[in-house]
Amino acid sequence: MPTIALLSSVADMRHLHQAFQEEFPEARLRMGDDLGALCEIDAAVCWRPPPGLLARMPNLALIQSAAAGIDHLTSDPTLPDVPVFRIIDPAMAFGMASYVCWAVVHRQRAMADYLAHAQAHVWKPRRLEPPQQHGVGIAGLGTLGLACAQALMALGYRVRGWSRTPRSAPAGLQAFHGDAQRDQFLSGCDTLVCLLPLTPETMGILSRDLFERLPRGAHLVNVGRGAHLVEADLLSALDDGLLRAATLDTFVEEPLPPAHPFWHDPRITVTPHIATATSPVVIARQTRLNLERLRQGNAQAAAVDLKRGY
């Protein structure tokens, strides 16, 4: 009967309790201030766990990220040397695809203007820019990026993607990879969607240097991590017309502080890290499955490659 700690320094992990009871009833759960003896903990399910805590669990055998990303774990220099797993969930990809389609359509079709006109009872149609004339680039062609690319192609957008290594792309998707093809990829992105993992290579990638390589007046959608974006560079790129608009779901500081300039800028749409979410049932199921893999000695293939960083 495994003992599992549910750990977070920012979220109330009690929302996972019922799902674990249903999906993994034999697990003994520990959370909050009531972790008991740390030497009894076999596995930890984490969303931004308190730094240093995992290293104090001498018999920890498995770390399960409660999210698709693992940057909230690898940022802890004391992370113990045990297998780390992340959530891979098609339902989560649908959530992300619907958010990204909304963000692209909202700006490309000037929906904010129409909503403001409707408030004022103004009837003012504009010429429609067909989606085939609008290039959307997805930086990060993984589980989530591919789902977004497919959904956007179904709406008729001209979609391209960028990954670290060559990928077999579905028909109609123009695929680029590596640093050598980055600028060619960026040159066709009227909207750029960031769905990269946060690693030393991608931190601060959404900078002035990158904005200068996009078509002038592009729209930036950041659904990756806040630290992908150099915030000051975004504001100056909007002022200079390099970018026309930004839709941001993730921020270095969350919640975004009330006085932050992004809240007050009509060119920037802010959402509170809601692009998609992991279902508690999936977290409980995947934790159980990964512990099972560990017991059977075949966890390595499913675990995150920490040397790669995502």
Active site residues: 225, 273
Give the Cα separation of 193 and 220 in Å (integer).
Answer: 6
Residue placing its CB nearer to ligand NAP in the complex, 20 or 176: 176
CB of 287 to ligand NAP, least distance (A): 17
Q: What is the DSSP letter of 27?
A: P
Buried b (16+ CB within 10 A) or exposed e, 121-134: eeeeeeeeeebeeb
Give the residue, chosen from 167, 208, 213, 260, that forms a contact with ligand NAP under the rule CB under 6 A.
167
Residue placing its CB nearer to ligand NAP in the complex, 195 or 299: 195
- Residues 118-137 binding ligand NAP (CB under 6 A) are none
CB of 308 to ligand NAP, least distance (A): 7
Contact 254, 72 (CB under 8 A): no
Distances (CA, A) of 263 to 34, 38, 287: 38, 42, 37
Sign of CA dihedral 223, 232, 115, 258: positive
Containing 183, the helix (H) or strand (E) segment is: helix 182-186
Give the residue, chosen from 56, 117, 267, 273, that forms a contact with ligand NAP under the rule CB under 6 A.
273
The answer to whether 276 contacts ligand NAP (rule: CB under 6 A) is: yes
Give the residue, chosen from 2, 83, 137, 224, that forms a contact with ligand NAP under the rule CB under 6 A.
224
Give the residue, chosen from 29, 84, 104, 223, that forms a contact with ligand NAP under the rule CB under 6 A.
223
CB of 181 to ligand NAP, least distance (A): 10
The answer to whether 27 contacts ligand NAP (rule: CB under 6 A) is: no
Binding map of ligand NAP across residues 88-107, x = CB under 6 A, - = no contact: --------------------
Query: Where in the chain does DSSP place strands (E)?
Result: 3-8, 28-31, 43-47, 62-65, 84-85, 135-139, 158-163, 174-177, 191-194, 218-222, 243-248, 268-270
CB of 301 to ligand NAP, least distance (A): 15
CB of 117 to ligand NAP, least distance (A): 30
Q: What is the DSSP letter of 201?
A: T
Which residue sits closest to ligand NAP, CB atoms considered?
142
The answer to whether 69 contacts ligand NAP (rule: CB under 6 A) is: yes
The DSSP annotation for 129-175 comes to --GGGSEEEEE--SHHHHHHHHHHHHTT-EEEEEESS--PPPTT-EE
Tokens of 25: 């009833």
Give the residue, chosen from 2, 49, 131, 140, that forms a contact with ligand NAP under the rule CB under 6 A.
140
Residue placing its CB nearer to ligand NAP in the complex, 23 or 249: 249
CB of 169 to ligand NAP, least distance (A): 10
Give the residue, chosen from 13, 275, 284, 291, that forms a contact with ligand NAP under the rule CB under 6 A.
275
The answer to whether 143 contacts ligand NAP (rule: CB under 6 A) is: yes
Sheet hosting strand 174-177, strand order edge to edge: 174-177, 158-163, 135-139, 191-194, 218-222, 243-248, 268-270
Give the residue, chosen from 20, 24, 47, 162, that forms a contact with ligand NAP under the rule CB under 6 A.
162
Distances (CA, A) of 249 to 30, 80, 144, 242: 31, 30, 15, 21
**Footprint of ligand NAP (CB under 6 A):** 67-69, 140-145, 162-165, 167, 195-199, 201-202, 223-225, 249-250, 273, 275-276, 310
